Amino acid sequence: MLKINKKTDYALMALNFMACQEEGSVANTRMISEIYNIPLELLAKTLQTLAKKGLIVSQNGPKGGYTLAKGPEKITVGEVIRAIEGPVHIVHCLEGDKGCSQMERCTVYGPLRKIEGKIVELLDNVTLDQMYQEEVKEEITI
């Protein structure tokens, strides 16, 4: 079954929280953890990963926290998923050169590659700000 993991879910929730803050304000890890009932250590590690990937910026000090590195209209769901989970693949044989003994006889590789491409395209075309607007329900068509 295709699904994002809990860390990615938490990352999207935290990024949405940051996107909703006033310009210039920072989001505190503890605050996000308490608001969304996310384990603090897991959230801290998730936010560190997002910072290393350049999606958020860490600000140190007593009033430190995180802010988005760019506007929510420029951060895609695909970027967030890849930052936390790595490349998006729907089956193992599409992960690269893992080698599959069925590859020569496989009749589903081509169609699955196309499906994966459409999924990645959709994820790369939905931005954070779109994800939380009612219109996105109408705009996303498969």
CATH code: domain of residue 92: 1.10.10.10
CB atoms under 10 Å from CB of 27, counted, come to 21
Rounded to whole angstroms, how far apart are CA atoms 17 and 13?
A: 6
Judging by beta carbons within 10 Å of its beta carbon (0-12, 13-18, 19+), is residue 29 exposed, middle or buried? buried
Range of the domain at 51: 6-139
CB-based contact 19:77 (threshold 8 Å): no
d(C-alpha 59, C-alpha 35), whole Å: 20
Number of domains in the chain: 1
In a domain, 99, yes or no: yes
pLDDT for position 2: 75
pTM, to two decimals: 0.84
Q: Is residue 45 part of a domain?
A: yes
What's the confidence (pLDDT) of residue 97? 59
Cβ contacts of 57 within 8 Å, gap of 6 or more: 51, 66, 67, 68, 69
108 within some domain: yes
- Residue numbers of the chain with a pLDDT score lower than 50: 135-136, 141-142
Domain assignment present for residue 11? The answer is yes
In a domain, 49, yes or no: yes
In this prediction, residue 142 carries a pLDDT of 46
Look at residue 1 and tell me if it is in a domain: no
In a domain, 116, yes or no: yes
Element (H, E) at 65: strand 65-68
* 50: its two tokens: 């997002």
